[in-house]
A = this chain, B = another copy of it.
Amino acid sequence: MSASGPTGDELLTVLATLANPHRLRVIAALSRERTYVSRLARDLGISRALLQLHLRKLEAAGLVSAQLELSPDGKAMKFYEVRPFAYRLTPDAIADAAGTLSTDTEDRDRQEGERDGRT
């Protein structure tokens, strides 16, 4: 029986998302303690706009999640936390996943299908 790991596309998304020093540090910081955007930006020493970009990518990949909360004094704050994950990176695991990678032509076909016609 197969171990049934992630699909190729999922693995690829996770890899591409984690392949950035800022995002690794974000994961590291959030795994210690959940925080809100502005504070995290100060801690990491990067601009808020930049951090938001990285947070969006991490969230899109399913590696972190966000909750909008109101602080005691009524300010809206967006808290982020890591969402537990575990991927094995071995030749075999990759070989499994690679089989389900969508091809360039498949992508093109799918997009064309969506364009011309039926919802």
Contact = CB atoms under 8 A, between A and B. Distances in A.
B24 A12 contact: yes
B95 A32 contact: yes
A89 B94 contact: no
Chain A contact residues, majority secondary structure: helix
Interface string A21-34: 10011011011100
Interface in A8-23: 8, 11-12, 14-16, 18-21
Number of copies of this protein chain within its complex? 2
Interface of A: 8, 11-12, 14-16, 18-21, 24-25, 27-28, 30-32, 82, 84-92, 94-95, 97-99, 101
25 contacts: A8-B21, A11-B24, A12-B20, A15-B18, A15-B19, A18-B89, A18-B94, A19-B19, A24-B94, A24-B97, A24-B98, A25-B98, A25-B101, A28-B95, A30-B91, A31-B91, A31-B92, A31-B94, A31-B95, A82-B91, A84-B91, A85-B90, A86-B88, A87-B90, A89-B89
